[in-house]
Structure 1
Amino acid sequence: MSARSLMRHAAPALLALAALVAMTPARAGLFDDDEARKAILDLRTRLTQGDEQRVAMAAQLKQLTEQLQQLQRSLLDLNNQQEQTKAEVARLRGQDEQLARDVAEMQRKQKDIVVGVEDRIRKLEPQPVSLDGRDFTADADEKRAYEDAMAGLRNADFDKAAAALQAFLKRYPASGYVDSARYWLGNAQYGQRNYKDAIATFRGFVSAAPDHLRAPEALLAMANSQAETKDTKTARRTLEELIKLYPKSEAAAAGRERLPSLK
């Protein structure tokens, strides 16, 4: 403790002692040596207690300072941990967002694969077909082969159509397309001016499917093919057969008109 501080704390006691000394001899006589000694001891005790209090306060202040510093360090560590936690949360959020994008992309690809597989399965599965008044099923390759052959016929490419239809009948002998394919093969052969084969094809068609929607037309086409070969007698018999078997058909009406010219 500094001298100035000591003097400040001891001043009251010194003043009291000075007052005792300054008293008149009459008053001084009231105090003996024991009292003076007691006053001095009391002064010393008070000074000692003041020193002890100051020491205790200084120790307590030091302890509080250390606690405050420790608290500040703890707060700093906590703040650093909080910043690290924020950074980790942001990183994890980014990972979650990327994971969500990856999952969405995987689901999209999986859906595309499923749709593609289903499309391929549908193409391989038999498909319903309605043709010339008949309903049946056909697989994708069968249907495609028939449609390709008919495309050649529609384009008046009779050679291509005839070859395709013959190949179709050979490959799919039990197909629901067979009767129609045989009929159109006869037409393709007629377009090739291959009348002999056309006559045989039409006859085979009518014999195999007499109730087919195009059976009357086949007989009319067969009669025309026979007429082209100058076999008018046979052509007349074919027209008469047509009129007899399918009297109400448009082909029969055309046959009636054609008969007078076949003499």
Structure 2
Amino acid sequence: MKVHTAWSWRPLATGLLLAGGALLAGQSHAALFEDDEARRAILDLRGKVEQQRLAADAAMQRQADDLRRATDDNGQLRRSLLDLQNQIEALRGEIAAMRGQNEQLARSVSELQRGQKDIATGVEERLRKFEPAKVTLDGREFTADPAEMRDFEASLAIFRRGDFPAAQTSFTEFVKRYPQSGYRGTALFWLGNAQYANRDYRGAIANFRALLAQAPDHARAPEALLSIANCQIELKDNPGARRTLEELTRSYPQSEAANAARERLARR
């Protein structure tokens, strides 16, 4: 009976041990499975976190790069603006210099124009000294050279000073120098008067007659006839003087000299 009891317990114990081992094995296997899943989940989570971190780092790097590029662009823009400002200032300086040069050029041109005008005026004045000019004298208009005008005025100025010998010489030279001059008739008249003042009556008569022969319509012709009569009276040629006075009244009846001749004829 005791032996039967012992063999009955051992299989039971063995079975219990086996069952317990199986149970423990199953529990260990389940625990191991659960640890792997957790590790995988952790690894996945870590991977996702790492990916997010890497994405964030990349985004931050891109932002940093963008910011750096923007900073560089801003710096370049500032440098460009500074360069442009410097160029503008340089252009302003050049424009100011050019404006100054233009003003100086304008002054130079104005001075040159004034100089040219002065030169032209001087040339014209010098040319006028050599160019013939129109002259109106004793009712007659003619053209005379500047030297001719100058010599006549000089001779007449000598006569007006009362230097009759010098006036006679000057007018004599004038008549010889300018035989075709428009001044000739008037020059003969004043030459005759200078000779009359110098008591060269015959010479005076000859020049008065030369005036009448050359220009009987000369404004001084009536006075020339009256002067001839005066010379004849000085020469004691009263009959000749009377004929000259009568000639005067006939030839120039409306002249003042004719009125004086008539008065003299009435007294004789």
| Local SS of the residue matching 1:135 | strand
- Aligned pairs for 1:49-64 within 5 A: 49-64=55-70
Mapped partners of 1:96, 1:229: distance in 2: 83
- Relative to structure 1, is the Cα distance of residues 68 and 246 closer, same or farther in structure 2, using a 3 angstrom cutoff? closer
- Please list the CA deviations of residues 62-93 of structure 1 after superposition, one character each: whole Å capped at 9, or x if unmatched: 22222222222111111111110110011111
Match for residue 217 of structure 2? 211
Give the TM-score of the pair, scaled to structure 2.
0.76
Query: 1:86: which partner in 2?
Result: 92
Is the alpha carbon distance of 1:252 and 1:45 closer, same or farther for their aligned partners in structure 2, counting shifts above 3 Å?
A: closer
Q: C-alpha distance in 1, partners of 2:106/2:186?
A: 56
Report what 1:98 is aligned to: 104
Runs of at least 5 residues in structure 2 that lack an aligned partner in the other structure = 1-33
Counterpart residue number, 2:208: 202
Q: Deviations over 1:30-87 (max 9, x none)?
A: x633222222322232223323333333233222222222222111111111110110
1:122 deviation in Å? 4.1
Deviation at 1:148, TM superposition (A): 2.1
Which one of 241, 247, 255 corresponds to residue 235 of structure 1? Answer: 241
In structure 1, what is the Cα distance between the partners aligned to 2:132 and 2:78? Answer: 81
After superposition, where does 1:161-200 map in structure 2 within 5 Å? 161-200=167-206
CA distance in 2: counterparts of 1:47 and 1:212, whole angstroms: 133
Equivalent residue runs for 1:150-169 within 5 Å? 150-169=156-175
Tell me, in whole angstroms, the C-alpha distance in 2 between the residues paired with 1:142 and 1:60.
Answer: 101
In structure 2, which of residues 124, 149, 171 is the aligned counterpart of residue 118 of structure 1? 124
How far, CA to CA, are the matches of 2:47 and 2:252 in structure 1? Answer: 155
Q: Distance in 2 between matches of 1:88 and 1:248?
A: 85
Distance change in 2, residues 1:180/1:34 (3 Å): same
Equivalent position amino acid for 2:180 in 1? A
Q: Give the aligned residue type for 1:91.
A: A
In the other structure, the counterpart of 1:134 is 140
Could you tell me the percent identity over the aligned residues? 50
Number of aligned residues: 236
RMSD: 2.8
SS of the residue corresponding to residue 219 of structure 2 reads coil
Any stretches of 5+ residues in structure 1 without a counterpart? 1-27
